[in-house]
Amino acid sequence: MIFVSFLAGLIFGIGLIISGMANPAKVLGFLDLAGKWDPSLMFVMGGAIGVGFFAFLWAKSRKTTLLGAEMKLPTATQIDRRLVIGSAMFGIGWGIAGFCPGPALVGVGMGLPKAIIFVAAMLAGMALYELIERLRGG
């Protein structure tokens, strides 16, 4: 299981590098709709959405993964305030830094200082969220 997880992560990381998703300048160019917009990542995202759509359809019909582990799929269906706020924060962070979590981890592996700072801030934000949830009793 560990080897398969490593292999899947490695393939994902290589795909992020080849597609340009690990390059913050390319990502920011894609997000710059009012300036010098670079639409090339639209094809990467379209491909990912297409693969993900059919993978989730197939996964919904299964109780276990191909390796026999329990299938764990999201169960939430409501769009609530927390989802909207979290999505906005994600998008703002992506637009400022040019990284989202997966490509940022690839950037750390590549030794990019900006990625290291991003991942440190991301981990700090996750820890702060957990602290607030515990204090709220959640």
Q: What is the pLDDT, as a whole number, of residue 131?
A: 95
User: What are the structure tokens assigned to 89, written together?
Assistant: 């924060």
Q: What is the pLDDT, as a whole number, of residue 138?
A: 64
Kindly report each contact of residues 13-16 with a partner whose C-beta sits within 8 Å and lies 24 or more positions away, as own/partner: 13/102, 13/105, 13/106, 13/109, 16/102, 16/103, 16/106
Taking the model in full, what pTM does it have? 0.76
The pLDDT tens digits of the residues spanning 42-59 come to 998 899 999 999 999 999
Helix (H, G, I), strand (E, B) or coil at 100: coil
Q: How far apart are CA 34 and CA 41, in angstroms?
A: 16
Q: Provide the percentage of residues in the chain whose pLDDT is more than 90.
A: 57
Domain residue limits at 112: 2-136
User: What are the structure tokens assigned to 68, written together?
Assistant: 């026999």
The pLDDT tens digits of the residues spanning 74-127 come to 888 899 998 999 999 988 988 899 998 999 999 999 999 999 999 999 999 999
Q: Report DSSP state, residue 112.
A: -
Structural domain count of the chain: 1
